Amino acid sequence: MSLAYFTCMYPITVIAGRAPPPFFSCTDYHCDEGETVTLSEDQWHQVVSLFPPTESPAAEREQIRRAIALLETQVGKITGTWRDRAKNVAGAGLPGQLDCISESKNTTSYLQLLSKDGLIQWHEVEDRKLRHPWILDVHWSAVILDRSTGKRYAVDSWFLDNGRQPYIQPLDEWLSGRHFDRQQQGKE
């Protein structure tokens, strides 16, 4: 389907001068430090352009994955978290390295920005969730609720380097510690 056909069927309206309000972003382990971030209208327009109308929650989850990756990249350039490496070990002790606490808080903030701007239609942003299937395996994730089915999904960016599309999987699978199915997550 061509973009011209798509925009005729679903006009994309971008409001001039639209940018999200300033928001807090974690910049280290445990979110002990952070800073207030202000995105420009141009940066936010790039995010908005990722959300043409969609006809399914699954398609919207793919839009969310792309938007979180883009927001991580944009915010990373401002805060220095562009250096963040997957998980904790690879970047341990380095400036801009985030743990799952900070990743889940930042991802939840991004999801709230998207929701408040009306970009997310099929999902609601929920509180972060904690899992601890083993004593030493405590982990946090952002969570969204599919309004059409009532099913919850973990939105987890901690497993990947800054700016990569986060994994999204059913929350019950995430809580059980099941590994993400990379085949279903699209191209990394």
| Domain segments of the chain as ranges | 39-185
pLDDT at 124 over 70: yes
- Check residue 1 and give its pLDDT: 35
List pLDDT tens digits, range 138-185.
Answer: 899 999 999 999 999 999 999 999 999 999 999 999 998 877 765 455
3-state secondary structure of 124: strand
- Check residue 88 and give its pLDDT: 77
Contact at 8 Å (CB) between 154 and 148?
A: no
pTM of the model: 0.85
Place of tokens 């309004």: 147
CB atoms within 10 A of CB 115: 15
